[in-house]
Amino acid sequence: MVKIIFYYKDGCWLCDAAQEMLNGLMEKYGIEVTKLAIDSDDELYELYRFDIPVFEFRDGSALHGQIRKKELLKKLEENKEQGD
């Protein structure tokens, strides 16, 4: 299993593309996603408004902006919980 925090904003085409990429990998990696809309919180909006979409991983690393599948696959492998 891999836990990801997904920072997004409705109407963001990059966010939609990132969500579709995650959907295609969820079963294989057992991805558990916590979605947080940045426009629901002023602090999140200030932090991420120029970076969305953002995938934040258990190890503290993140991918943002135009996320490449190759980079995402690498992060998923690095963040798999032991026993998976």
- Cβ count within 10 A of residue 3: 14
Which residue, 12, 18, 35, 16, is CA-closest to 71? Answer: 18
Identify the CA nearest to 62 among candidates 50, 74, 75.
75
CATH of 2-78, one of 1.10.3720.10, 3.40.30.10, 1.10.287.1770, 3.40.50.300: 3.40.30.10
Q: Is the pLDDT of residue 81 over 90?
A: no
**pLDDT tens column, 14-55:** 999 999 999 999 999 999 999 999 999 999 999 999 999 999
* 71: its two tokens: 């980079």
pLDDT of 69-79, one tens digit each? Answer: 999 999 999 99
